[in-house]
Structure 1
């Protein structure tokens, strides 16, 4: 029997959970269809999900249909929980993207599409709500091809009976296959499966999950056109989720990517799998082993995190979905440290919360995506931990980068210690923070180079404009020096961190440091007579926009799309509601970090003094006459023991 792990992803209200219910019902897994709005959906088992009527956490279900054994992972649909959806993507064989026929491809749908492309996940598309008045399959398909890919092709046909027109559309996605098709007039099922697997073709199915139409065709198509993944015999597993059960027991969710996972096996930091659970909705069964390709939850592991590789499996890349807002916890009458303990547990489940405790200010800060996530977080703290708290007004999360390259030097030489590190800092647009080494092993031994790279990964490096995290920068080890007698690992930690900050201070002196802020991608739907007002608003926000589009199905309405700073567009939805008398609709999703539109104002407001930040000092320590002494960052190049490579 073919086994596939598939995740269902969608824009909120597209009918993702309804489709999950329909698939489970048709496969005989459910005797009765549940409803999201009735609070009895099989996969929305959490009390908070039932109350809110949305999927907040990812869930697992298992079904069998003919020769298909399907592990189904349902994911949150709201943009505020996109980071949890991204965690799940790393373990999928295939994705099922649900698109509402009435709404078409929306902003968050494009975000999901880009994520699926980033993780190279072959994707089936189910167009839902086809029973709605005025919906046409042909028009909907054109919308998918225009906004997602030309490879979106209708597969609503019995197995192996695709029409000649459909086969020709498939062949047009690959020149070699097209030439062969023109000669033979056919394409084998294996070739079509490979094209789907390689993301050249995206099979589209149409129906209504609520009315169970198109579900059998989808299941038949999914069974027929998917390929089972082949795995090695060497054990590996990928962590994609951390949760706690009703008894507060910590669960590490994994997909086994090689060999077999055995109960009681030592998996991480000498810790054993105490219990291996296979979940189906809210219920689970324990098992002694899980073969490659299957998903399970493990108890007994501590310090695991989403993206961690076990066994031969490598760690995942850093997630692309990042929070953009910073909030301070108002504990009300609760003990602040009790609140911190609870938030640390929630951060364990969702590392993107980035819970930060300031001992000096005696305050807790969290990072989130938006207001809905904030409301959910507040409710979770009340329901699970009996903590009634508030969050004070949020602030924007900024980042910093550089626009020129520089060689940073760090030297750490108190008495009986020694290390000198030279790092090349270079701009690395849209690639986050990356590390490398181009240092000859004859110059600096492998173990010391390893110490440098390890210490570069060990902390979040802050910029020198406002102390915001550094991004879009490449750090390369290019030179270094150790002492055979006095050098220890801690010396290279100090020298490495000081080298980063010293280089940043050099760039600040050259006006080559840059402040970045998050921007929204927006879609604003208004009446045509309100377009001028909207354009004026967006210009005042320092945003950009495309020429307005008139909706063909309603010529009274126009759509304005573009980009604007999060700091300026926050709260604009209420203004839209007011001036359109409730008829307008603003949809925003976080796009990426761009140069800050009011950098000077923010820098003055933050009043950050990088030299006074002793935990991130740019200065170095040298030794003379048997004693260590500090050397200011701008004097380090002249005092360094190794020559500069870059000037």
Structure 2
């Protein structure tokens, strides 16, 4: 089960309260004091926010719950994304004071798209300003209308709030519940409308359990993680309304790695959710197609902590030691059809990391370990300029990377100015071919490729127009991998997306030797020939197709005092935002529209001053849009196949018509 929320909604405090109520801990920790179970990193305790997902476990009745506490700050959305594939259900936490916030909407939209059974917990009913009815309206209007309050909150805004569950004797509740359930099931609708035989409360409850487990309806609970109000009812809901894990412990091994960390001695530890089968110490496991590793130790989460065990089975989360090459997202054993999907937007910002001269050598190793734990920081090494760039979701993430490098690795760094990550899309179709033995191709390889535009969001697809057996598999794999690598930097230096690359020509020189002597690579094609030639063909095809640079655009939602509209609108226009027709409600003006990602940070900085501190901004990545005017470019960090002669000198130290070993 995952606990998800907008930052500061109180999900880590709720995790503490659940562990306390289940008898796992004797004292409730505090986020402010840095004493919670799941915020174990020094940086998390210092900042009072969750940065890394953390796993704890407890038991409710006869149900064992593996709970994953996730970050709420949008800069760490990648941590949430990695968890989504391993959840059976979720609890979405909403503040009774702040209500539905930007990240709440992003999370619920994703949970609904995935069909993840989700309970909603309205937290902080003890806080001044708590308003249960308003929050219910916001949940219904902004998240989903398929909700049912499971009880009534009392004493809001006091130190003694309470949550009273509804029961069979509450006619209003049973009527609302019956109508909601009837919306999703025709058979139940017919039974509900049968006046001669009224539906019993037991039947209503059974249908509620069935529909909640299918993510058709979302029960809502009210409470306070600080006082404990409503937590017992929520725990009952978790055990009764969220689906139990399925999976055969005796079946084929199938699991997903959703987190990787390093132990005290630098050893790699993989967090694996098991869907099927059993893994035992000393088992050899296959992952990521052709990688393999031997499990040297296992820990399993049990009643609040991880304990050393000899095996981990279906339905459990385990820590595995010994898989040195494992990465986040890897499938252990049999793949699942839902794995390796992208749920949230990619990072849209990047920055260059600048170390002290004495730390240059240690920086790359430190960042490489951080990239193991967060692959979306996308390390980008520029050997020509001796620079390393990282991708970001926001400025807070940059501060956390800086502090982590200093605290955990002793590496002090500064950052260049944060810039926006653009992408390129093919403007048309382009084809190119290099024939083995014909000028100016110096490689023992023939490669022909065609690049075609593809629909937005389709990614990069590689396909064949040559016969499958016309090229050894190793050479075909080398071409395919190099195509994807080369498309990470297009004509303007940005990643090329949404295209189909078709292989139209292929050829190679079979393995040959002199007079039955050893293999002679000067007469025979090698994988290096295809890896060296393919970038030249890709960029040639791209040049013929042309590319357009697109910048990331965010959805914009602004709530401002109506009398500040006259000062806010010109500022939005200056930031290249495209506001739609505003709507006025009471003394509040609502503005929706689009804004370039590059302008979001400046809007966040200036909005309080423009709106007397009353403006509320919601922004989330929406789409890429062609750049108007001169396209921005980014320096290449590879051997630059756009400049053929320099490329050939760097790659093989050979030029047209001359072949040398290098």
| Correspondence for 2:175 | 164
Specify the SS of the correspondent of 1:367: strand
| Correspondence for 2:311 | 289
Q: What do the CA deviations read for 1:368-427 (whole angstroms, capped 9, x no partner)? A: 111111111111111111222211212211111124344454545567823233334222
Closer, same or farther in 2 for the Cα pair 1:342/1:566, shift >3 Å? same
Contact 2:447 2:533 in 1 (8 A): yes
Alignment of 1:248 onto 2:272: no
| Correspondence for 1:102 | 97
Q: What do the CA deviations read for 1:138-168 (whole angstroms, capped 9, x no partner)? A: 4422321221222223234468887232122
Q: Distance in 2 between matches of 1:584 and 1:145?
A: 23
| Correspondence for 1:578 | 609
Q: Distance in 1 between matches of 2:58 and 2:35?
A: 19
Contact 1:86 1:115 in 2 (8 A): no
Q: 1:536 aligns with which of 570, 573, 597?
A: 570
Alignment of 1:425 onto 2:452: yes
Closer, same or farther in 2 for the Cα pair 1:429/1:270, shift >3 Å? closer
Q: 2:387 aligns with which of 363, 385, 388?
A: 363
Contact 1:62 1:72 in 2 (8 A): yes
Closer, same or farther in 2 for the Cα pair 1:450/1:171, shift >3 Å? farther
Q: Distance in 2 between matches of 1:604 and 1:160?
A: 65
| Correspondence for 1:545 | 579
Q: What do the CA deviations read for 1:548-603 (whole angstroms, capped 9, x no partner)? A: 4556xxx44434333201223332222223333434344433334322244x1525
Deviation, 1:135, is 4.4
Q: Distance in 2 between matches of 1:281 and 1:257?
A: 20
Q: Distance in 2 between matches of 1:238 and 1:597?
A: 42
**Mapping of residues 79-228 of structure 1, within 5 Å:** 79-133=74-128, 135-156=130-151, 157=165, 163-175=174-186, 177-183=188-194, 185-186=198-199, 187=203, 191-228=207-244
Contact 1:410 1:422 in 2 (8 A): no
Q: 1:347 aligns with which of 371, 374, 377?
A: 371
Specify the SS of the correspondent of 1:216: helix
Deviation, 1:177, is 4.2
Gaps of 5+ in 1: 1-5, 630-647
Deviation, 1:264, is 1.8
| Correspondence for 1:42 | 37
TM-score by length of 1: 0.85
Contact 1:522 1:587 in 2 (8 A): yes
Alignment of 1:595 onto 2:611: no
Gaps of 5+ in 2: 152-164, 512-523
Alignment of 1:501 onto 2:531: no
Q: 1:565 aligns with which of 574, 596, 601?
A: 596
Contact 1:189 1:225 in 2 (8 A): no
Closer, same or farther in 2 for the Cα pair 1:452/1:203, shift >3 Å? farther
Q: 1:471 aligns with which of 497, 501, 511?
A: 497
Alignment of 1:55 onto 2:50: yes
Closer, same or farther in 2 for the Cα pair 1:381/1:448, shift >3 Å? closer
The number of equivalent residue pairs is 608
Closer, same or farther in 2 for the Cα pair 1:380/1:326, shift >3 Å? same
Q: Distance in 1 between matches of 2:475 and 2:384?
A: 34
| Correspondence for 2:299 | 277
Deviation, 1:333, is 4.8
Specify the SS of the correspondent of 1:50: helix
Mean Cα displacement is larger for which, 296-305 or 118-127? Answer: 118-127
Q: Distance in 1 between matches of 2:42 and 2:634?
A: 46
TM-score by length of 2: 0.83
Q: Distance in 1 between matches of 2:209 and 2:625?
A: 40
**Mapping of residues 11-50 of structure 1, within 5 Å:** 11-50=6-45
Q: 1:517 aligns with which of 533, 545, 551?
A: 551
Q: What do the CA deviations read for 1:102-158 (whole angstroms, capped 9, x no partner)? A: 222222112212332444322221121234456444442232122122222323446
Closer, same or farther in 2 for the Cα pair 1:190/1:418, shift >3 Å? farther
Q: Distance in 1 between matches of 2:623 and 2:319?
A: 33
Q: Distance in 2 between matches of 1:185 and 1:474?
A: 58
Contact 1:151 1:173 in 2 (8 A): no
Deviation, 1:469, is 0.7
How much is the aligned-residue C-alpha RMSD, in angstroms?
A: 3.2
Q: What do the CA deviations read for 1:264-310 (whole angstroms, capped 9, x no partner)? A: 21124332112112357995321110111111111222222111111
Closer, same or farther in 2 for the Cα pair 1:583/1:244, shift >3 Å? same
Q: Distance in 2 between matches of 1:469 and 1:147?
A: 34
Deviation, 1:331, is 1.4
Deviation, 1:523, is 3.4
Q: Distance in 1 between matches of 2:412 and 2:210?
A: 53
Q: Distance in 2 between matches of 1:574 and 1:278?
A: 45
Closer, same or farther in 2 for the Cα pair 1:612/1:357, shift >3 Å? same
Closer, same or farther in 2 for the Cα pair 1:578/1:502, shift >3 Å? same
Contact 1:542 1:597 in 2 (8 A): no
Deviation, 1:35, is 1.7
Deviation, 1:53, is 0.6
Mean Cα displacement is larger for which, 67-76 or 112-121? Answer: 112-121
Closer, same or farther in 2 for the Cα pair 1:530/1:29, shift >3 Å? same
Closer, same or farther in 2 for the Cα pair 1:423/1:231, shift >3 Å? farther
Q: Distance in 2 between matches of 1:178 and 1:265?
A: 52
Contact 1:24 1:30 in 2 (8 A): yes
| Correspondence for 1:326 | 350
Mean Cα displacement is larger for which, 420-429 or 80-89? Answer: 420-429
Closer, same or farther in 2 for the Cα pair 1:341/1:572, shift >3 Å? same
Contact 2:181 2:207 in 1 (8 A): no
